[in-house]
Amino acid sequence: MYRYDEFDHALVAERTEQFRGQVARRLGGELTEEEFRPLRLMNGLYLQLHAYMLRVAIPYGTLSARQMRQLAHIARTYDRGYGHFTTRQNIQFNWPSLVDTPDILEALAEVEMHAIQTSGNCIRNVTADPYAGVAADEIEDPRVYAEIVRQWSTLHPEFSFLPRKFKIAVTGSPHDRAAIRVHDIGLVLRRDPSGAVGFEVVVGGGQGRTPVIGVTIRDFLPKRDLLAYLEAILRVYNMLGRRDNIFKARIKILVQSVGGARFAAMVEDEFSQARETSADLPAEEIHRIRRYFAPPAYETLPSADFSLATHRRAERDFDLWCRSNLAPHKQPGYAIAVISLKPEDVPPGDATADQMDAAAALAERYSFGELRVTHEQNLVLPHVRLDDLHAVWQGLTQAGLATANVGLVSDIIACPGLDYCNLANARSIPVAERIWNRFRDLDRQHAIGELKIKISGCINACGHHHVGHIGILGVDRKGEEHYQITLGGDASETAALGQVIGPSFSSERVVDAVENIVETYLQLRSAGERFIETYRRIGLQPFKDRLYGSAGKERRHGAA
């Protein structure tokens, strides 16, 4: 894991003191709320429906056990004993008071964390593949470059007042677990024909009210040019991105309006002109940072473990957990274990302080003191020995963290929705809970297989509904909460936006609709076919027929 050196420490300490001064000026009446707003937002402090909300950056979703314990401490001391892990690999505290926030930031700085640029129209916390450094299919660890981008983007003097927020994601694997193509910039580590490693650069993806799949503007960018090229993209965007309409201000709108090829040419032109003065990335800085991400001291182990097989045969619950919650590790004898934050009756992504401590303790004992946060709002123990898995599962079970549903129908992404957010049209969390209950039979969930349901309470799409296999969007219909369903969205390397299936459903009917969609899939799937594959083969119509009857189809044919 990256460790702060004297410069990183100094910056975060100075930033904390700066914010302490700003809070004092606000509390003393020297700053109006209007003047204070951009300052608090630059430090992750929002004003929500009921209270302030502090969003803390977890850069590229990597956490040490010590950092996780500190988050637990903050949840206990300054909040109501829990925190909420987000789709951007961050954590949010929902009830801090303004006067406490400088102390919270100081507590974060103690463990090399901060809340810088988790809000505002600037470059936000950089995200990455949650299996970075351990995935069996990886070319190189993307966290090295994510950390380089984190430092370069922190308090960037030119890009702190962009037209709109700006999100960068990095992956080192051809299998995209970081939703690269729905980010403002997505970076994919690639090999060129000579074997050199560089980046494919994807620009202009995004969700929100105008969902767009990003376009590749560079097939291969050498590592040394990474920051200079990012700077060129950001400069073109900062100068030309729309500022007259907040809904048209993201880079995706600029890329769409000039076209991908023209945008690429503008970036290349700026890049070639700015070479002398733009950010440099010397080889030794890459080397320095890469050292921090060296693999831990793995033991040489056989790739299969007898005791694991025995436990799996003997304990059905453990076997189910192994089936859904493990991923292949690059090191023989180890597994990546995902901790589901989607148990029954808990908002997706929430964890109590005690659960955070429990996860930290398990990480210390079984995973080289390391944890990850996924954009699907789960946690990860990245390096668990196969013969430790049973003990880890037992520990998780005690902490209420052993739900065996990762990637399944109840592993739902949901935004906070109308329960917390002043932008929402409808509640998200209660819908997630009702779907969870409808599919509570784990055997049934496993029989259904991989199925990603994502729920947003409004068109800002914080719950990623556009890229859900089944997407659910809260809408306001004549003052009532209604839900529009989309099918076929995908955030992976085969990224796609979901298609609206038809008229929206009332709150009472939406869960039936989801179940009908699932039943249709089960009837029509070929052997071994995942939901998304079946959908791609048969299209929207069979699902439509099931949900709305054949009347809609006949009407359409009649009109034609």
Write out the residues near another protein by the rule CB under 8 A.
5, 7-8, 10-11, 14-15, 17-18, 21-22, 35, 38-39, 121, 151-152, 154-162, 222-224, 227, 235, 238-239, 243, 273-274, 276-288, 291
Shortest spacing between CB 10 and another protein, in angstroms: 5
β-pair type (82-85, 91-93) = antiparallel
Inter-residue contact 143 to 130 (CB < 8 Å): no
Cβ distance to another protein smaller for residue 42 or 547: 42
Query: Residue 331 in contact with residue 65, Cβ under 8 Å?
Result: no
Nearest distance from C-beta of residue 156 to another protein, angstroms = 6
Helix (H/G/I), strand (E/B), else coil: 345:
coil
Contact 132, 140 (CB under 8 A): no
Q: Residue 22 or residue 125: which is nearer to another protein going by CB?
A: 22
Nearer to another protein, 222 or 328 (CB): 222
Q: Which two tokens stand for residue 545?
A: 């027929």
Q: Is the distance from CB of 252 to CB of 205 less than 8 angstroms?
A: yes
Q: Closest distance between another protein and the C-beta of residue 150, in Å?
A: 9
Nearer to another protein, 37 or 323 (CB): 37
Nearer to another protein, 7 or 527 (CB): 7
Q: How far is the CB of 322 from another protein (least distance, A)?
A: 37
The amino acid at 547: L
Q: What type of residue sits at position 58?
A: I
Q: How far is the CB of 34 from another protein (least distance, A)?
A: 11
Q: Is 256 exposed, middle or buried (0-12, 13-18, 19+ CB in 10 A)?
A: middle
Q: Are strands 127-128 and 168-171 parallel, antiparallel or unpaired?
A: parallel
Write down the least CB distance from residue 196 to another protein, Å. 8
The tokens for 104 are: 């919270």
Closest CB to another protein among 41 and 513?
Answer: 41
Pick between residue 278 and residue 394 the one whose CB is nearest to another protein.
278
Least Å distance, CB 248 to another protein, is 15
Candidates 167, 163, 198; CA nearest to 181 is: 167
C-beta closer to another protein: residue 163 or 471: 163
Nearest CA to 409 out of 429, 393, 432, 426 is that of 432
CA 28 to chain centre: 37
- Nearest distance from C-beta of residue 257 to another protein, angstroms: 16
Residue with tokens 């119509």: 541
**Cβ atoms 143, 192 nearer than 8 A:** no
**DSSP classification of residue 452:** -
Identify which of residues 238 and 499 has a Cβ nearer to another protein in the complex. Answer: 238
Which of 178, 170, 219 is CA-nearest to residue 495?
A: 178
Task: Tell me the helices (H) and strands (E) count for the chain, helix number first.
Answer: 19, 21
- Closest by CA to 154, choosing from 60, 42, 72, is 42
Closest contact distance (angstroms) between CB of 231 and another protein is 8
